[in-house]
Amino acid sequence: IQVSQAYRTQSYRLAPGDQLTMRAYYNPQLDEDVQVRPDGNISLSLLGDIRAAGKTASELSAEITKGYAEYFVKPTSVVIVRQFTGYRVFTAGELRTPGQFSLLTGASTVLEAISASGGVTDNGTLTSVILVRHLPGQARPMVAELDIAEALSGDDPRQDVSLMPNDFVYVPRSGMADFNEALQQYIYRNLNFATSAGISAGYNLNP
């Protein structure tokens, strides 16, 4: 799997759920706190609905400033992102505390996301961690299998891939864990059968 370094440095693009503050320097009465709705729009008192998702804060600022130019002589609007909902990653599988985490608080690689999830359980494996990534313009997600154990040991640090927004990290059960569970179920079933059969046979052999 290849991660473009350009992505790591490009400007953040707004996503549904982001919380914004709009400041109008020469018209403070227009200052508003808004949230990007699930449909990708925001609602401003004077301008109504404006598309926000997919734009940078600077692009949205310029669009709002242009809209206010119809009403004011010196409109200067700036959009400030208070909460970055779009910078989330998700974890699941054999982890102690799986869930969702922010890329802005340290979970920026697969290994860091696993660490933020409390680490791998005794039944999990780091040798075949699954990364699912949805890329813009592609209908099907990209799926990669990573050997994070190699990254952890230092043998292949490239396996610890940098994460992108909405990536999904899944830690599967180890083959030994599946084997042990199947063995326990086999022993349990056969032990119960043998015990009940032995009691019955005992009564028959020693009336």
pLDDT in tens, 137-194: 778 888 889 999 999 999 999 999 989 888 999 999 987 666 566 556 655 565 554 4
**pTM value > 0.95:** no
The DSSP line for the chain is ----HHHHHSPPB--TT-EEEEEETT-GGG-EEEE--TTSEEEETTTEEEE-TTSBHHHHHHHHHHHHTTT-SS--EEEEEEE-TTSEEEEEESBSS--EEEGGGT--BHHHHHHHTT-B-TTB-STTEEEEEPPTT-SSPEEEEE-HHHHHHTS-GGGSPBP-TT-EEEEPBPHHHHHHHHHHHHHHHHHHHHHHHHHHHHHHH--
Weakest mean pLDDT among 9-18, 27-36, 46-55, 146-155: 9-18
Cα–Cα distance, 132 to 128 (Å, whole number): 13
pLDDT in tens, 3-15: 434 344 456 788 8
Structure tokens, 74: 């010196």
Structure tokens, 46: 């004077």
